């Protein structure tokens, strides 16, 4: 399972977007757009430079995976893999079926509960 998670995370690409107001970090977002602080200039008439900036970091995953076959291994490695697989699959052998001789036996019906009648209880 660990190897599956490792392969999955090594092939996933994602972006990290950061929004700064001055030198203060306001928001960090992964897989989405960072929330703005509201200090951006929406009017195109104003030429004043605003103090906010966005930093986008792109983390690219691996595009190609190499697959090797059993024949690409050395003889010793093939022998190790086969012996490991054989030992692993034979590790989980089932137990022999146990015979229960009294499986179909029904106990007799209790007519009277003698302990309750005599008020004798083991404590």
Q: For residues 113 and 59, give the distance between their C-alpha atoms in angstroms, rounded to a whole number.
A: 77
Q: For residues 60 and 65, give the distance between their C-alpha atoms in angstroms, rounded to a whole number.
A: 14
Residue 113 sits at φ, ψ, to 5 deg, of -90, 100
Place of tokens 């996933």: 12
Average pLDDT of span 79-98: 88
3-class SS of residue 55: strand
Residues 44-71: tens digit of each pLDDT: 555 556 778 888 888 888 877 777 788 8
Q: H helices of the chain, where?
A: 2-11, 75-91, 114-118
Reading the block at residue 95, the tokens are 């137990």
Note the pTM of the prediction, 2 decimals.
0.41
């Amino acid at each position: 399972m660990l190897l599956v998670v490792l392969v999955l995370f090594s092939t996933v690409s994602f972006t990290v977007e950061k929004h700064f107001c001055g030198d203060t970090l306001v928001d960090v977002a992964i897989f989405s757009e960072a929330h703005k602080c509201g200090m951006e200039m929406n009017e195109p008439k104003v030429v004043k430079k605003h103090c906010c900036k966005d930093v986008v970091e792109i983390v690219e995953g691996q595009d190609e995976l190499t697959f090797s076959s059993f024949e690409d291994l050395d003889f010793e490695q093939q022998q190790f893999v086969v012996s490991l697989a054989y030992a692993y699959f034979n590790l989980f052998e089932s137990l022999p079926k146990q015979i229960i001789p009294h499986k179909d036996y029904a106990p007799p019906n209790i007519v009277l509960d003698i302990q309750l009648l005599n008020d004798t209880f083991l404590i």
